Amino acid sequence: MRCPFCGHAESQVKDSRPSEDGAAIRRRRLCPECGGRFTTFERVQLRELTILKRSGRRNPFDREKLMRSISVAIRKRPLDPERVERMVNGIVRQLESMGETELPSTVVGEMVMKALKSLDDVAYVRYASVYRDFRHTDDFAQFLSDEGLREEAED
């Protein structure tokens, strides 16, 4: 593992243990070159996944891209980062356990929507606005009434 401080190609593992959610191995590392200490998280990947985009393109599944898209939706929301991490881990595990190596992007999008709906209504609507490509305020109003969120907000 390359040192993030000096770029040295080798580092020494000083401690290894499972992460709190058990989805990764947490390793404390030491760079013999600069003495810098850093932590890495290593995840087991059950299978290589390919995402089939609406355009027909195929992209390798990227957990970090999934995390970034969710981060945009939850920005400035009072959510515990560990809950969000568990949610992402759950989505990834579901995808890997589906038995398919190629999955339509809509499957991923719907899983994220379902997970966000149970986590935070505002994040859910934010994600939906991008995922469903809202273009006008009427799109928001229609979505909110279809989802039963509008009535709750007005009560």
Least confident of 9-18, 41-50, 144-153: 144-153
* Beta bridge pairs of residue 97: none
Say if residues 21 and 86 touch (Cβ distance below 8 Å).
Answer: yes
pLDDT of residue 155: 45
- Helix ranges restricted to H, 31-104: 63-74, 81-96
Residue 25 to residues 16, 92, 125, Cα–Cα distance (Å): 7, 16, 33
CA-wise closest residue to 32 among 11, 18, 47, 48: 11
* Beta bridge pairs of residue 110: none
pTM here is: 0.67
For 70-128, the pLDDT digits (tens) are 999 999 999 999 899 999 999 998 998 888 899 999 999 999 999 999 999 999 999 98
Percent of the chain scored above 90 by pLDDT?
A: 63
Percent of the chain scored above 70 by pLDDT?
A: 93
d(CA 103, CA 107): 7
Sheet holding 37-43, edge to edge: 12-18, 24-30, 37-43
Residues 6+ apart with CB under 8 A from 122: 77
pLDDT of residue 141: 84
Domain boundaries, the chain: 12-43, 50-154
Question: H or E segment at 134?
Answer: none
